[in-house]
Amino acid sequence: MEVTLRGAVFRVNQARMTFGLQLVYGPEVAGPIPEQHYDTIIEAFNGYRAGVKALVRGTGNYDHQSRLSRLESVEQISILDPLDVPAQLDDFRGMRAGWLDGEGLAPSQAGLDWLADRFDRCYPNDVPLPYLYPTPEGGVQAEWSLGSREVSLNVNLSTHKAEWVWVDVLTDAEAEKTLNLDDVADWNWFAAELRRMAEVIQ
Amino acid sequence: MNYAARLYRQVHPGWVREGRITSQVFHPTPKDRGFLSVYDGDQITAAESWQHYTEVLGLMSAGVVAVTPAECSQHQIGVVPDPRDLFPEHTLLDFTGLTGNQVRRAARHLGRAANNRGWLFGPVNV
């Protein structure tokens, strides 16, 4: 079965040409090192302690409980941007209620799946990637620092609504807007806002 | 109060991404009832505050960032010494006089100030 995995290369066996991938959320899996991808796998391995993650596409073997047990082949591997959105969202999947010193709701798996899918479908490649954080209410807050503007998008994973807010720390100007993230037009709107803010500082 | 003092704020590990903290670090939750706890940097070091927070109070912290009383007063946030038994450095940031929008704006300003200042201790892998 074709798989797309995000994880850290924590082990390399050069004699056997195999590597171990620690998924951002999930098990550890082993796989073969194709010669053409050797350098990239070593780069990811060397960056393990710095938090470097890789995107691996290939075919996987599953056990009798339908769990991924091994990578059968690796077709493609690349180093992930540190702000890769699916990888950031995967970081939240192991959270439990009470994560914030006894308070705090955990983001739902379905909500994280939805948000990852929306970013994949609707977020342009030419717009700065956000820093993502969990909120005590069980949502996700995306943040950008663009010049003198602090921008945030507070996403409710249940309603799919989001509060878009920016504050200019030099002028105290600010703006806010409620968005419907099931509407691609709203994605286009805030992507255009981010693009405009990013262009001003270049 | 020394307006240039460092007020140390502990950062939950979930609120760090690539070394950058979220503005939520400086936004009171409903449980906080308008107050945020910090350590008075004129009485304790950043490293000692992290050690106290994690070992004595038993709470999670990825590290320590800071704002100053001057930065707080620019947004009408009170800085109130609140010494307690075996915790004399405890200080409160008082947001109770602010509207919701003012709190939101202040949190972003303080978050930017703290990120610009950098980590005073850590971040550590938790």
Chain B hits for A175, CB-CB cut-off 8 Å, are none
**Type of residue found at B115:** N
pLDDT in tens, A20-63: 999 988 789 999 999 999 999 999 999 999 999 999 999 999 88
| Binary contact (B29, A101; C-beta < 8 A) | no
Query: Do residue A141 and residue B105 have CB atoms under 8 angstroms apart?
Result: no
For residue B108, the chain A residues in CB contact (below 8 A) are 150, 152, 167, 169
Return the residue in B15, B16, B18, B22 with the most chain A beta carbons within 10 A, the one to mutate for interface testing.
Answer: B22
Percent of chain A scoring above 70 in pLDDT: 100
Nearest to A180 by CA among A172, A189, A171, A170: A189
ipTM of the complex: 0.94
- pLDDT (mean) for A116-143: 97
Angle of helix A184-200 relative to helix A109-122, nearest 10 degrees?
60
Query: What confidence tens digit (pLDDT) does each residue in A149-167 have?
Result: 999 999 999 999 999 999 9
Q: Which helix (H) or strand (E) holds A193?
A: helix A184-200
User: Can you give the residue ranges of every domain in chain B?
Assistant: 7-117
Minimal C-alpha gap between A65 and chain B (Å) = 31
Alpha helices in B1-126 (DSSP H): 46-51, 69-73, 100-117
Within an 8 Å CB–CB cutoff, is residue A135 touching chain B?
yes
Asked if pLDDT for residue B126 goes beyond 70, the answer is no
CA triple A112-A119-B126, angle to 5 deg: 50
Q: How confident is the model over B43-64, as pLDDT tens digits?
A: 999 999 999 999 999 999 999 9
Coil, helix or strand at residue A154: strand
Q: Find the CB nearest A88 among B17, B105, B109.
A: B17
The model scores a pTM over 0.80: yes
Tell me the nearest-neighbour CA distance from B82 into chain A, angstroms.
Answer: 20
